[in-house]
Amino acid sequence: MIITISGSIGSYDNMSMIAERLKAAGHEVYLPQPSGIPASQELRRDKPALIREHTNKIKQSDVLLVANYDKNGVANYIGPNTFLEMGMAYALGKPIYLLRDIPELAYSDELYGLEPTVVHDDTSRITLTTNSTEEN
């Protein structure tokens, strides 16, 4: 199975570890491309290319896995880029998986509407057959 991982770039090291675990289980894995550019003006200039690149990875994948780690005091954080990527996956009919529960954010209802499956850090639960929220 081809799995694209999305999440906050601040969690890139964690995403890389998940990718290695998934590869060891026989999956092909795509990660977001970290920009490596700290200045916001330069990042804004490169952002369209980064979004297109990750969108292409999502298109080529069987599923999207969101590595929603805590960030800035928000448990299970899902930021604007990741939310956008989840919307793309949903529009493409790709199953969406969250490592952790849906966060309490202003757009939580919309996150539930994308019908993700929560795997509670158990990546062995990722399959091609489901696309609905699980809270167990």
CATH number at residue 34: 3.40.50.450
- Counted domains in the chain: 1
Give a yes or no: residue 77 inside a domain.
yes
Residue 20 belongs to domain spanning: 2-125
**Domain membership flag for residue 131:** no
Q: What is the pTM for the complete model shown? A: 0.89
Rounded Cα gap, residues 117 and 135, in angstroms = 8
Question: Is position 28 within any domain?
Answer: yes
The answer to whether residue 132 sits within a structural domain is no
The verdict on residue 57 lying in a domain is: yes
pLDDT in tens, the chain (136 residues): 999 999 998 899 999 999 999 999 999 999 998 765 555 666 666 788 888 999 999 999 999 999 999 999 999 999 999 999 999 999 999 999 999 999 999 999 999 999 999 999 999 999 886 544 444 4
Q: What per-residue confidence (pLDDT) applies to 68?
A: 98
Per the domain annotation, does 133 fall within a domain?
no
Residue 135, in any domain of the structure: no
> Is 56 inside a domain boundary?
yes
Instruction: State the residue for tokens 């990527």.
Output: 85
- Per-residue pLDDT, 40: 61
pLDDT number for residue 132: 47
Alpha helices in the chain (DSSP H): 12-24, 40-60, 80-91, 108-113
| Cβ atoms within 10 Å, residue 105 | 15
